[in-house]
Amino acid sequence: MNKVFFPESVAVFGVSDSPSNLARVIVENLISCGYKGAIYPVGKRGGSLGDRIIYGGIEAVDAVPDLAVLLVPADTIPQTLEGCGKKGIRRVIIETAGFSEFREDRKRLEQSIREIALAWDMKVLGPNCVGIINLDNCLVLPFYPVDAEAVKRGGISFVSQSGGLLHDIMNRASLDNFGLSKLASIGNKLLVDENDVLEFLISDPATQTIGLYLENIRDGRRLMDLAYSTDKPVIMLKANRSQTSRQIAKFHTSALAGDDEVADAGFRQCGIHRPQDLVEMMDWFRIFTLPLMRGPRVFLLARSGGKAVLLADTAQRCGFELATPSESFYDKVRQKVRAGVINLTNPLDLGDLFDIDFYIEIIREASAEEGVDGVVMVHDYAPGVEVAGTQRLVTEAVRISNIHQKPVVLCMVPDKNDWFPMRALADLPLFMDGDTAMKALAVSRDHFRFCSRKTERPRLQGHDRSVRRTGTSPAVHMDTVQTFRLLASYGLPVADHQLIRSEAEAVEAACRIGYPVALKIALPHILHKTEEKGVRLNLGDEQALLTALRDMKGEAFLIQKMAPSGYEVFVGGKRDLEFGHTLLVGLGGIFVEVYRDVALRVAPIDEALALDMITETRGSAILKGFRGSPPGDIDELCRCLVRVSRLLADNPQIVTLDINPLILFHKDEGCLIVDARIEEDAPG
């Protein structure tokens, strides 16, 4: 990928001298932004562009460009690409739109692109994109006019499935004065996808923070592995939340692990930060230009009581602690304060202490305090008179931030005259509002915490063959006895059971198993057995068993040992289109069905992650012993979750798995699986 971002020469296809020609704009961008490499405009009608010749074909160019950018009609793409291949060009960006995103039947066109690219071993970005912007070498490839000078160079890089968002990020960065490094539009990601670019950006020394906008995820496991491998913050704006066509709740797991829930869980598991919207993403970019918040203790300052109260409110809502600075800190402040106008507390209401240089002193002293992890100040300043002082405050805040490697966050609403100049003043990004700043700061703190707790973890991608198996063959239900056998083969404790087809077999089986027993219709498609009267519990003797059996319709039945009572737990597995096998756990029955109180992870998991999952559910309060009830055997539950996770890894054909219920007994007494169902790919 390096040569895609740092080519020494670029050929642009589709150029003409017509004023409405878009490929021309690419060439103009490269020139006006100051790209230093060679530029070869190519267009079948030839001609010239100012003093530059437009080559009639790539053959006419007497060099092999490092990169070709194609903006020619969709149906001429294959032949152009073939030409590039012949010429020896190995990196191509196809900006042309009108492929599968527009009409289903254009998939064939995409297929031929794929074949040509593979034949010539070409890296191809797009189609349907706006290319790349690299501010390191002024490589500016969109087909709309870009003013690269409007944007500062910095550490934020961005990958987008939508060209529009690339434009927008650039625009917003220029307005807010934060620095960008590389932007890549990946369009229909026919060959190069988000992970390829992400991998490059992780290794790119100029990139400090990585943003992504995606509408779908090509390979969630590789994404997770990549994000986990780096300490650079990865911020993901994931769209298409609501388009999940959730299956009708045949399986609990299907209903509980919708596409968006899986994405959410996957992101959390590998430390990807997911904002709700674009504005929030920008706030997070902003906070990550500051040193990380390495702990929970904030010191807060505001120039009005109201703002101080609001700040403290949000601080607590975001899980921060109000720092308690040392007495010597307050002594220093006290010496400066006019008699009796402000209370020395955190948050510090600066009241009518109109001395900006003193604010700087306070911030300096507070940042130096060992018990302070970060400082947030809401600085409402008077337009005009306080501008110079405020400028000092902004530049000093940057210095202090860097010296102590702690974030000093300034919030202010400059007036019209200072709006842009105040932002242009320093690398320190300004927030408009304390609450926004605080919420962003919480992400900085979470990032630090996540990175500092990372452990050696096996790569996810190597542990699942289930990704991208979905969608082709229809799924079928596994027979109950077979399901139980599979579970048992992984050391999962399944209640003693036997398949019977006659009264004689029933009596014999019940005798062997021991009364009381349960009787179930052994049909995989009876889903909520209790509702459909397909199950009879607690049959105490032969008479009860036979009466029940005669009352039921069916050919095959299961006689099963009644489990002693315990906590009902639900364990599920689901193969996700983007992330492969996932694992769920929650208290069974209403807890899952009414409250959707489940924890979800991408499999496989280890015992530590299993315990995390259990603890994450609110219902775990009950397993831990609630109101005097004895605690459940959580250790054994953890071990079972790990076994289920291993079972899923070994069986990529499994679409959905419901273990419901697993009866969890008291501490050290284990558990028993009473019912389970598996849906898998139809054979063949």
Residues 253-312 that bind a copy of itself (CB under 8 A): 276-279, 302-307, 309-310, 312
> Between residue 78 and residue 97, which ones bind a copy of itself under the rule CB under 8 A?
97
Q: Interface residues for a copy of itself in 555-594 (CB under 8 A)?
A: 590, 593-594
Amino acid at 540: G
Q: How far is CA 651 from the centre of its chain?
A: 26
| Distance of alpha carbon 201 from alpha carbon 278, whole angstroms | 21
Q: Does 619 bind a copy of itself (CB under 8 A)?
A: yes
Residue from 373, 576, 597, 680 that binds a copy of itself (CB under 8 A)?
597
Q: Which stretch binds a copy of itself (CB under 8 A): 158-166, 218-226, 489-497, 540-548?
A: 158-166
Contact 372, 326 (CB under 8 A): no
Residue at 461: amino acid letter: Q
91 Cβ neighbours under 8 A, 6+ residues apart: 3, 4, 7, 66, 67, 68, 122, 123
Q: Residues 6, 330, 420, 515: which binds a copy of itself (CB under 8 A)? A: 420
Contact pick of 64, 413, 526, 546 for a copy of itself (by CB under 8 A): 413
Does residue number 435 form part of the binding site for a copy of itself (CB under 8 A)? yes
Q: What is the dihedral of CA 469, 471, 476, 481, to 10 degrees?
A: 30
Strand, helix or coil for residue 459: coil
- Is 388 a binder of a copy of itself (CB under 8 A)? no
d(CA 410, CA 393): 9
Q: Smaller CB distance to a copy of itself: residue 87 or 167? A: 167
DSSP category for residue 251: S
Question: Residue 390 interacts with a copy of itself (CB under 8 A)?
Answer: no
CA nearest neighbour of 347 among 308, 396, 403, 377: 308
Residue with smaller CB distance to a copy of itself, 35 or 320: 320
Decide if residue 395 touches a copy of itself (CB under 8 A).
no
Q: Which of 171, 482, 502, 615 binds a copy of itself (CB under 8 A)?
A: 171
| Residue 242 makes contact with a copy of itself by CB under 8 A | yes
Interface of this chain with a copy of itself, residues 348 to 367, rule: CB under 8 A: 351-352
What count of Cα atoms within 13 Å lies in the side-chain half-sphere of residue 509? 22
Stretch that binds a copy of itself, among 336-344, 365-373, 510-518, 577-585 (CB under 8 A): 336-344
CB of 483 to a copy of itself, least distance (A): 22
Q: Please report how close the Cβ of residue 610 comes to a copy of itself at its closest, in angstroms.
A: 21
**Nearest distance in Å: CB 223, a copy of itself:** 18
Is the bond preceding 631 in cis, omega lying within 30 degrees of 0? Answer: no
Secondary structure (3-state) at 475? strand
Q: Percent helix, strand and coil across the chain, each rounded to 5?
A: 40, 20, 40
Q: What is the DSSP string of 350-415?
A: -TT---HHHHHHHHHHHHH-TT-SEEEEE----TTTTHHHHHHHHHHHHHHHHHHTS-EEEE----
- Binding to a copy of itself by CB under 8 A, coded x per residue (else -) over 627-646, reads xx------------------
Total binding residues toward a copy of itself, as defined by CB under 8 A: 79
Q: In the complex with a copy of itself, which residue's Cβ is closer, 330 or 420? A: 420
CB atoms within 10 A of CB 389: 18
- Which range in 34-42, 221-229, 339-347, 563-571 contacts a copy of itself by CB under 8 A? 339-347
**Amino acid, res. 291:** P
Residues with Cβ within 8 Å of 31's Cβ and at least 6 positions away in sequence, in order, are 39
Nearest approach, Cβ of 267 to a copy of itself (angstroms)?
Answer: 16
* Dihedral (CA of 612, 613, 619, 623) sign: negative
Return the range that interacts with a copy of itself (CB under 8 A); candidates 2-10, 239-247, 608-616, 634-642: 239-247
Single residue of 8, 75, 147, 551 touching a copy of itself by CB under 8 A? 147
Residue 118 binds a copy of itself, judged by CB under 8 A: no
CA distance 377 to 390: 12
Give the nearer residue to a copy of itself in terms of CB position, either 345 or 452: 345
Can you give the three-state secondary structure of 83-126, one letter per residue? HHHHHCCCEEEECCCCCCCCCHHHHHHHHHHHHHHHHHCCEEEC
Asked if residue 241 binds a copy of itself (CB under 8 A), the reply is: yes
Name which of residues 505 to 534 contact a copy of itself (CB under 8 A). 528, 530-531
Considering beta carbons, is residue 170 or 663 the nearer one to a copy of itself?
A: 170
Using CB under 8 A as the binding rule, whether residue 344 contacts a copy of itself is answered as: no
By CB neighbour count within 10 A (0-12 exposed, 13-18 middle, 19+ buried), where does 552 fall?
Answer: middle
**Contact with a copy of itself (CB under 8 A) among 50, 340, 474, 683:** 340
SS3 of 482-550? HHHHHHHHCCCCECCEEEECCHHHHHHHHHHHCCCEEEEECCCCCCCCCCCCCEEEEECCHHHHHHHHH
Considering the rule CB under 8 A, would residue 184 count as an interface residue with a copy of itself? no
Contact range with a copy of itself by CB under 8 A, out of 217-225, 228-236, 432-440, 462-470: 432-440
383, 514, 554, 625: residue in contact with a copy of itself (rule CB under 8 A) = 383
Among 136, 168, 505, 508, binds a copy of itself (CB under 8 A): 168
Regarding 101 and contact with a copy of itself (CB under 8 A), the answer is yes
Among 63, 119, 432, 608, binds a copy of itself (CB under 8 A): 432
| Residues within window 217-236 making contact with a copy of itself, judged by CB under 8 A | none
For a copy of itself, the binding residue among 18, 48, 102, 452 (CB under 8 A) is 102
Q: Which stretch binds a copy of itself (CB under 8 A): 381-389, 571-579, 640-648, 659-667?
A: 381-389
Question: If DSSP codes are grouped into helix, strand and coil, which group holds residue 453?
Answer: coil
Which helix (H) or strand (E) segment is 67 a member of? strand 67-70
CB of 94 to a copy of itself, least distance (A): 16
Q: Which of 34, 56, 145, 462 binds a copy of itself (CB under 8 A)?
A: 145
CB of 311 to a copy of itself, least distance (A): 10
Q: How far apart are CA 456 and CA 499, in angstroms?
A: 45
Q: Is the peptide bond before 421 cis (omega within 30 degrees of 0)?
A: no
